[in-house]
Structure 1
Amino acid sequence: MTAGRRGRRVLVIDHAKKPGEKIRISGGGRCNFTNIHTTPKNFLSDNPRFCISALAGFRPADFIAMVDAYGIAWHEKTLGQLFCDGSSQQIIDMLLDECEKGGVTISLETEVKSVLRGEGNFTVETSKGRFEAASLVVATGGKSIPKMGATGLGYDIARQFGLGLVPPRPALVPFTFGPELREKLEGLSGVSVYAEVACGKSRFSEALLFTHRGLSGPAILQISSYWKEGDEIVVNLCPGHDVFAELREARASQPKQEVETALSRLLPKSLAERLCEMTEVTGRLADLSDKRLRALGEQVNSWRVKPQGTEGFRTAEVTAGGVDTRGLSSKTMEARDVPGLYFIGEVVDVTGHLGGFNFQWAWASGFAAGNAL
């Protein structure tokens, strides 16, 4: 779109049947198209400063202005997340319309077979013939959600031209547990609480959801981007409450009350009962020592869990890692050693938090490259 507006002849090659399928499914079909609180701190990368220039060049307000110009109604959900009031198809149609105004040609159901670089030109061999251009922009996304057609093509092209890769891994993805922990938590699938989840120095406070395989929900998806295999996460299932202190107070005021009943004032009943079972702290409060109440309180306020793994690329919303930013210009997204070759969006080692940040990076990095082509 940006290159087309500047009078460049642009061909988009896409192996999908329809354009913008990830846009279509995002936000439950309403497209969380940006986040008004976008800053570089909302992104992970081996080089955290790489995203600064592009994000400054195309801000959330710039995308919102385009959305408003098309009369697309939107609303803010939690934490600055913006969604369409209607369908995400409105965003796709808007972008396609802008591309059309710029004279952009879009070739769908077109498979890329090879990419070569000759004297000043790139040659792309496809299922619909050969195309040549002075510039090649790789906007293939990551490996997330392969059933939608995601592949590692962008990484293959980067390797072919000598660019490094930060190992790609699933991000914004649910955790899975081993058989033993799954058995202990059986029956809690669907139970949700507001929680604080930490991994190392990173922490997020949002909803947490128990699933039949492990944990999901926004807080878990956020922390998954920072988690590496073998890491432990620490979950506070009742942030803002000192559960040990509150159980002691309950013991003083209502000593005949069952501890499960007291805890269920802070947590869903089924979860409260299961945590009491897991710590073997059950029965009347009057019969429970400080030591046992403290053990239960710690289970609630700092539950230490070592996930077996994640749901993988199959359900990951994005891919962390990707094309090493050391080989790219932060101002233009052009490969430093391969003039005319650009990498933008998710294929690059820049990964946003949950909540519209990854789309904003896509728009911003695309704008930077489009202005430099």
Structure 2
Amino acid sequence: MCVGRTSVSMLLLSIVFITFYNSYTNTQICTKSKVTSEDRLEIYTASKREHYRKPRCWFRCKRTRWVYRNITRTKTITVNTPYNDCCPGYVKDENYRTLQCKPVCSKACEHGFCQSPEKCACNENYAPDLNNKYKCTPICVKSCGHGNCIAPDTCKCNRGYSFMNNTCTPVCIKPCTNGICVAPDTCECLSGYKKPSKDKTASQLANVCEPHCSSGTCIAPDTCECLSGYKNSSKDKRASYVCEPHCSSGCLHGSCVSPEICVCDLGYYEYKNNFTCVANDSSSINMARLDGWTRYNWIYAVAALLGAVVITISLYLYVTCRKRNLTQRNVDEAELEVRQAVLKKFFRKATTSL
């Protein structure tokens, strides 16, 4: 039963194939006729009248008769001869011994083949060009974006872009740390980061700490790394951006204003630069005052001494310049008096002589 169904199916497929092949072939091969001249042998009967004498009739027995005979001759005739040839738009394919026709396209099909007269079919992974029927353009499954598709799934990228993951991606010469390269040499920061300058080509993107990370470096969004001599003593995670100066002595009775520098509270002072604040009413403090000054006492003393030296030098220079000016003025006045006396004496003599 199955064998019978298979045979019927094969027969139907064969009929369909033959019908399709004949219809396809009939569109390529046409029957034409041509006029030719042919020489053919022709046999015809020729007749001739002749005279003859009847036997034993002497001169009065002369008779006439018709004589027939077959004659062969060559005759040229015109004949219409039918023959098969390629239909218009097709030419003979010389690769076959029998008559096989192939379509003709006036222009070569770029990345395709001539499927029918003046119609191209594209190769695999190519599509017809809407502006040129003889051209097939490559197909890029993923859009090239900033570039042109020059081959199947192959892009030629514009300047500043490179072919990566079957598309054109922007290139940043310096890597975008904590950001994404969104255009040539242009970074876009991730959430929680910002650019450290207005320069759009800056590749190092700074973290964002709100409020500002004081006495430290923002190493992650809202996370500070304190500088040397500072630490974060707060247990509140929301205050992780606050870095405070650290004093190893603890600054008892005082405040740590910078690394290892204490400012004593009112009524206390630093004892022998050992970052210890002691009370003013202690007897040991009186001895400490006799032993030596604090670093701030020395700073104030040196500043006062330098101020006194500067003032003394300034006064000396002022007095010296003043004396020089007075001496020069006295000399000028004496010379002027001498010149006036000489002139008076000269005029007096001149008047006497007249």
In which range does the TM-score fall when normalised by the shorter chain? Answer: under 0.3
Whose helix fraction is larger, Structure 1's or Structure 2's? 1
**With structure 2 as the length reference, what TM-score do the two structures score?**
0.18
Larger Rg: 2
Whose strand fraction is larger, Structure 1's or Structure 2's? 2
